[in-house]
Amino acid sequence: MENYFWNTEILSDKKKLYILVIYDIVDNRRRVAFAKKMNGYGFRVQKSAFEAMITENLYRKLLAEIPHLIDNTSDTVRVYKIRGMGEVNLFGLSHRIEDEEVIIL
């Protein structure tokens, strides 16, 4: 078992949000495009899950982009916004997540 913690309110000029994005996208092409877009925001932690520590502005930008990447009749995307302090407990194979600035090109 491995744990990691975050605090979005630590000494920072810009307050950050911890987000968890999970998705079920039926079409392979849309799913790959969605995953590529998510790589610009955070880290893939499972096949259909990304975690990110981003600013409020990037969060709003992400929410605006998602509807253009999916088919509302067959796909599902959930974005969980978490503020403050938190903890993640990992079991099994996992990759260490580092809090770093993500630059979207």
For 2, the 3-state DSSP assignment is strand
CB atoms within 10 A of CB 38: 23
* C-beta of residue 54 within 8 angstroms of C-beta of residue 102: yes
**Rg of the chain, C-alpha, whole Å:** 14
Q: Is 13 annotated as a binding residue?
A: no
CA angle in degrees (0–180, nearest 5) for 78-83-89: 75
Q: Please give the annotated binding residues, written as ranges.
A: 24
Q: Please give the annotated binding residues for Mg(2+), written as ranges.
A: 24
